[in-house]
Amino acid sequence: MRACRLPGVLCAVMLFTSAGCAKGQDRDSADQSRSALVKARPDVTLTVSSAAELKAAVGKNVRLSGILKRSKLGARIWTSEFSVMCKGARFQKTQLGARVRVEGRLEHTGQYASRRGPHGERSAGTDPGTKIFVLRECRNLPPPPPNR
């Protein structure tokens, strides 16, 4: 087992997840181990990069990166596998169409479904019955440092 020089919990996370992968466990087992750790420590922020990880992280603090686009309902972060609405963050116009990193509490909600009025008019929103992924308390993070 390797010695870890990071403080406390971060050290345990690195050893816990890397040890599982080193012993030949598949990615699903490592994800289950990470999920169990997050249940024990709700203050841990998960980095999400796939649709499966996104679905498993509902209700947790997550960090993700993707292309920033605007929609009728607000800012959305798009990846090749999923999109997430980002509520609460402010973005500069120069960030539109560029890769951004964000962090927040992930929800899967039908709150933004469109509604029909008494005369058949329809409000802006998603199709009725459709749930979308939303980052509450979304924060725009600085870009990662360049690789040297």
Which has more pLDDT, 49 or 35? 49
> Does residue 147 fall inside a structural domain?
no
Of 73, 81, 80, 70, the C-alpha closest to 110 is 73
- Taking the model in full, what pTM does it have? 0.63
The enclosing domain of 93 has a CATH number of 2.40.50
Q: What is the mean pLDDT of residues 101-114?
A: 87
Q: What is the mean pLDDT of residues 91-109?
A: 93
| Number of domains the chain is built from | 2
> Does residue 117 fall inside a structural domain?
yes
Q: So what's the pLDDT on residue 113?
A: 74
DSSP label of 95: G
Residue 32, C-beta contacts closer than 8 angstroms, at least 6 positions apart: none
Q: So what's the pLDDT on residue 111?
A: 77
